[in-house]
Amino acid sequence: MSADAIVVGAGIVGAACAAELAARGMSVEVIEARGIGGGATAAGMGHIVVMNDSPAEFALARHSRELWLALAPHLREIDAFSRCGTLWIAEDDDELAAARAMHAAFASGGVRAHQLDAAALRDAEPALSHAMQGGLLIDDDAIVYAPAAAQFLLTRSPGAARIRVSTQCAVAAVDASESAACVTLANGERRTAAHVVVANGLAASALIDGVPLEAKKGHLLITDRYPGTLHHQVLELGYIKSAHHARGTSVAFNAQPRPTGQMLIGSSRQFGTLDPAVDMNVLGAMLRRASHYLPGIGALDAIRAWTGFRAATPDGLPVIGPARPADDRLWLATGHEGLGVTTSLGTAKLLAAQMFGEPMPFPLPDAAAFSAQRFAGAHVDD
């Protein structure tokens, strides 16, 4: 065998799984088609945010955020972590009510949050439109530079000496018997291990039949340096609806102050396309939405715009566990949609607990919430 475990994919999820298994003493081989921290990991915002769209998502994100906070001192050394908090913005009475409901849900789940009235919102973020009615501040949310975090996990985390990474090396097929699992590389070479973890994001469905993943395209734009313009990651409360429920093309205001003083502006969601080109109509709609919240945005210089693809399952939750019923050789960790940087560390803990036959590392409202088998017989809409 070439290792105790082979992990396919060196995005943030594969890197987190490799680091967790290596920390438990396993020798791990990571096989990556391109480079470390590429794919969706390189394209995203790296916002570490607790979302509560469903109890399972809340549990995974909350636990994962604790793991990121524990890692923060190491990531700060490589300028890959900043605890800027999240500020959810309420524009009207309905959104103020949504902020209150979110506050109550967070309080009962042990997540620190504060409600801000309009004056407190203006003090916290003077650049925001003064027409906004208030907001909800989540102090402990953060941002990470995810490609650097993936690199850290694979090369400097506690078990990293047991991790070997092969880049520019694509896996063409995976299979498993009772005694071992095996990957076949694109050049025909075969490598075996006790376990194979398929963590190659959107491409997982090419290796494992029946994983219903759909691409959700997103645009981002980064500005020149304007230090002090924003202090928190700011999102409209409507983002939750856009992120999880919209079917057509949607945009929502989401802006992040980078430690460099630049501003990263999102976000958009589009289905039914794998074209990576920036769509000027979608980018324009996204920036118009942003200028509604940040009226001064039109005066800022943009440096670059790009797109990325989130790997989405039909219910928006990831797949973490055996690839097939009762399979303890072939594992899946994919489908993290727009929250995979946040939830990568908790994903790794959940996966390892299942592999080692341990109880779940944190309470889950539904033990099958992330199981691949929940989609048995399902298909993705065209």
Ligand X SMILES: Cc1cc2nc3c(=O)[nH]c(=O)nc-3n(C[C@H](O)[C@H](O)[C@H](O)COP(=O)(O)OP(=O)(O)OC[C@H]3O[C@@H](n4cnc5c(N)ncnc54)[C@H](O)[C@@H]3O)c2cc1C
Chain mean position to CA 117: 30
CB nearer to ligand X: give 135 or 338: 338
Per the CB < 8 A criterion, the answer to whether 91 and 98 are in contact is no
Least distance CB 265 / ligand X (angstroms): 11
Least distance CB 130 / ligand X (angstroms): 27
CB nearer to ligand X: give 96 or 293: 293
CB nearer to ligand X: give 96 or 171: 171
Least distance CB 338 / ligand X (angstroms): 5
Per the CB < 8 A criterion, the answer to whether 167 and 32 are in contact is yes
Least distance CB 255 / ligand X (angstroms): 11
Contacts of 330 (CB under 8 A, 6+ apart): 174, 175, 176, 181, 195, 196, 198, 208, 322, 323, 324
CB nearer to ligand X: give 34 or 374: 34
Least distance CB 216 / ligand X (angstroms): 7
Q: Reduced to 3 states, what is the DSSP secondary structure of residue 107? A: helix
CB nearer to ligand X: give 229 or 267: 267
Residues interacting with ligand X, by CB under 6 A? 8-14, 31-34, 38-41, 43-47, 170-171, 199-201, 203, 218, 220, 308-310, 334, 336-342
CB nearer to ligand X: give 14 or 321: 14
CB nearer to ligand X: give 134 or 254: 254
Least distance CB 9 / ligand X (angstroms): 3
How many whole angstroms separate alpha carbon 364 and alpha carbon 369?
A: 8
Per the CB < 8 A criterion, the answer to whether 350 and 331 are in contact is no
Question: Which amino acid, residue 181?
Answer: A
Beta strands in the chain (DSSP E): 3-8, 28-31, 47-48, 81-82, 86-90, 114-117, 134-138, 142-144, 163-166, 171-176, 181-185, 190-198, 214-225, 233-236, 250-257, 262-269, 302-312, 319-322, 330-334
Q: Reduced to 3 states, what is the DSSP secondary structure of residue 308? A: strand
Least distance CB 189 / ligand X (angstroms): 13
